[in-house]
Amino acid sequence: MMKQVALSDWKAIKYFHLRILLIPVISLTAGIISALLVVPVNVFMFLFFSINTFAVEEKCDLNRLYLTLPVSRSSIVGGRYALSICMGLAGLITGIPLAVFADRFSLSHYYGPSGWFLPVVTISYLLFSVFNLCMFPILFRLGYTKGKFWGMCVPLALFAGLYCAWVIISSLPGNEYLLFNALKYASENMLLVNGSIILAATLILLFSFLLSKKLYSDREF
């Protein structure tokens, strides 16, 4: 049933499908600063795109339609999460070649071995889970109109804040090679670092799903 709900949500936002073509442009623009930004930005933008389902749902009053059908609220939440995860995977898959391309013109070139790029991918997954937790439970509880500020502006501000904090920390005296050392450590402890990040991201995503399911089940229409 979740698969059918996810497909229905995808069809419901067909008006927005062409906007996906803008995502690589935005990601490559971020790549001008550093190619390492491309994958996380790409993943974030694909996740951000997936919340169009909430906008269409509210505009067309799809909640009431779904609830007249033999579809449980749990399936509705699960279907929407399935669609968002597919969007996140699309962001990861398309982000890697975009990052390689962006490195040709980036102001900060990536000189490390290819194995060092894996932590960038797993961290992107972690960011996906964190931003999902910031967005989806709020939108499931309040709806798009009431929740879009907290569900959209806060994650954007958080993303910008994390990047600014990284720039400030890495610019401090003695931290000039902080990124280099972090990637080197991750490559030498591949299973520990990436496994821990993937585990943490999966637990956060699971918590987000369970919280959304609880909030949506208590919501009145």
User: pLDDT tens-digit profile of 168-206?
Assistant: 887 778 776 777 778 778 878 888 888 999 999 999 999
Residue-wise pLDDT for 102-150, tens only, equals 888 887 766 667 777 788 899 999 999 999 998 999 999 888 888 877 7
The pTM assigned to this predicted structure is 0.86
Residue-wise pLDDT for 9-33, tens only, equals 888 888 888 889 999 999 999 888 8
Asked whether the beta carbons of 34 and 98 are under 8 A apart, the reply is no
Reading the block at residue 164, the tokens are 């600014």
Q: Which of 21, 49, 62, 39 is nearest to 118 (CA)?
A: 39
2 pLDDT higher than 80: no
pLDDT, residue 183, reads 78
50 pLDDT higher than 70: yes
Dist CA 188 CA 70 (whole Å) = 51
3-state secondary structure the chain: CHHHHHHHHHHHCHHHHHHHHHHHHHHHHHHCCCHHHHHHHHHHHHHHHHCHHHHHHHHCCHHHHHHHCCCCHHHHHHHHHHHHHHHHHHHHHHHHHHHHHHCCCCCCCCCCCHHHHHHHHHHHHHHHHHHHHHHHHHHHHHHHHHHHHHHHHHHHHHHHHHHHHHHHHHHCCCCCCHHHHHHHHHHHCHHHHHHHHHHHHHHHHHHHHHHHHHHHHCCCC
Dist CA 104 CA 97 (whole Å) = 12
* Section 39-43 average pLDDT: 93
Dist CA 183 CA 111 (whole Å) = 11
